[in-house]
Amino acid sequence: MTQRTLIKNLPAATDGPASVSGWVETVRDQKKVQFVVLRDESGAVQLVHPRLFAEDGTPEADPLAEAISALAQGTFLTASGELKHDERVKLGGVEIKLESLDIAAAAIPETPIADDSAGDKRMDWRFLDLRQPKNNLIFRIQTTLEHAWRTYWVENDFIELHTPKLMASASESKAELFEVGYFDTKAYLAQSPQFFKQMAQPAGFGKIFEVGPAFRADPSFTSRHATEFTSVDSEISWIDSHEDVMKLHEELLVAGFAAVKAKHGAEIEALWGVEVTVPTTPFPRIPLAEAKRIVAERGYEVPRQDDDMDPEGERQIAAYVKETFDHEFVFLTDYASSIRPFYHMRHDGDDSLTNSYDLIFNGVEISTGAQREHRVEVLVEQAKSKGLEPEELDFYLDFFRYGVPPHGGFGMGLSRVLMLMLHLSNIREATYLFRGPTRLLP
């Protein structure tokens, strides 16, 4: 049996016997010759079969031609024949003259979606939607991005954790909890690994990271929200302020974007029309109050009364940063303690502000980071100020009763980064299988 060759490797192969496996993308069934475009996970190739004719021009029995004529789009098969280089062939400058087809699984002729199908329809048939080269590329980029981040962490002596996703109490807002039955009691799906990654600091781990699922019972139907998402988290000890966390954050993103540009930059530009820009450091930093003033001067008043930035405000400050600094990222810093969790450290001398930030990328928030409060007596008072009962937080507060270094970290949404890198319109496009308030399938 001829060994299978990935289609992307055919241009470098020598002419001769070749075997490729994949799915049928198109069939051109002409009078004298048949063409099949076959695609695998690495690319597409043209298969060609001249029909058989007698010397007098009458068609001869041709079982291979009949098999080709019966092929439906999406059929998975193995094609064997003679590889030939021909610069006139648009698909990689090579084609395979067919000798045999081995059909692994025939497809139903009528496909349920087309390239212009609406988003919900495409999500219903996601496995077919993902056959498109553009969509396939997204998850190759994701793999490269995660690998580059993990390489950065490992080379800088971080420890990888896998924290529980079943919890006895909330890690963030009680309003966004998914409750599940747990034997004779109840549990909650983790909204973030926040408490557990902080626990690693008094454990003496120093620097940790995790890439894992998180769950938010948020009934939002926006283009950037999901009920289940992949959270990218990191936490480090012995920091002086949230500046140290921001430095880690920007170095990590530079490493990831550099790897994506090097490996996929040309393909991203060809398929998506987007040039990946490796950000320069340091990223611009703007205190939130100043950012709101800048946005107001641009003609937009942020209507929210909770000291936060709304989506239009994020877009406006991102536009300002692009115009002023030619940068796609900006840290908005110094958020009010009224809208930050009780565990964010507050400014020395100004209890109304926190040592925290949001990271905005191309007009959308992708992350929140902060220096954490590590003094247990301060944590207790800040929890009380948020209406929380310290007794309900005893398991968390215990982390701080036996010594913990100054520390901080961030959580970042993987799919949001991909969505904004590729200028996609919806986070569903950058998620393998999206979960939202009305979607649990496939």
Bind-site residues for L-aspartate:
172, 216, 368, 372
Cis peptide before 282 (omega within 30 of 0): yes
Half-sphere exposure of 31 (CA within 13 A, CB side): 2
Residues annotated in a binding site for ATP? 365, 413-416
Contacts of 325 (CB under 8 A, 6+ apart): 284
Structure tokens at 184: 């004779």
Contacts of 87 (CB under 8 A, 6+ apart): 93
How far is it, in rounded angstroms, from Cα 99 to Cα 96?
9
Structure tokens at 281: 């450091």
Under a CB-based contact definition with an 8 Å cutoff, are residues 35 and 44 in contact? no
Question: Which of 417, 244, 256 minimizes the C-alpha distance to 345?
Answer: 244
Structure tokens at 340: 């930050």
Structure tokens at 28: 């051109």
Residues annotated in a binding site? 172, 216, 365, 368, 372, 413-416
Element (H, E) at 367: strand 364-371
Question: Which of 327, 332, 325, 402 minimizes the C-alpha distance to 365?
Answer: 332
- Got the DSSP string for 376-441? HHHHHHHHHHTT--GGGGHHHHGGGTT----EEEEEEEHHHHHHHHTT-S-GGGGSSS--BTTB--
Place of tokens 């507060």: 397
Under a CB-based contact definition with an 8 Å cutoff, are residues 87 and 93 in contact? yes
Under a CB-based contact definition with an 8 Å cutoff, are residues 302 and 295 in contact? yes
Cis peptide before 63 (omega within 30 of 0): no
Element (H, E) at 244: helix 242-272
Place of tokens 């025939």: 106
Question: Which of 141, 144, 108 minimizes the C-alpha distance to 125?
Answer: 108
Beta strands 285-287 and 329-333, pairing class: parallel
